[in-house]
Amino acid sequence: MDSKNIEALLNKYWNCETTLEEEQQLRDFFRNGNVPEQWKETAAMFRYFEENKKKSLNDVAFDHHIVARMQPATKGKTARLFYNTMRIAAGVTVLLTATWFIRREVRKDIPQEVVDTYDDPKLAFEETKKALMMISKGFGTAESQAKKINMFNEAQEEIQRKKDTKL
Q: Which residues bind another protein (CB under 8 A)?
A: 13-16, 20, 23-24, 32-34, 38, 40-45, 47-49, 51-53, 55-59, 62-63, 65-67, 69-71, 73-74
CA distance 134 to 154: 30
CB of 76 to another protein, least distance (A): 12
CB of 15 to another protein, least distance (A): 7
Residue type, 107: R
For the beta carbon of residue 12, count every other beta carbon within 10 angstroms: 15
> Is 54 within 8 Å of 41 (Cβ atoms)?
no
CB of 81 to another protein, least distance (A): 15
Q: Whose Cβ is closer to another protein: residue 66's or residue 94's?
A: 66
| C-alpha R_g of the chain | 55
Q: Whose Cβ is closer to another protein: residue 20's or residue 167's?
A: 20
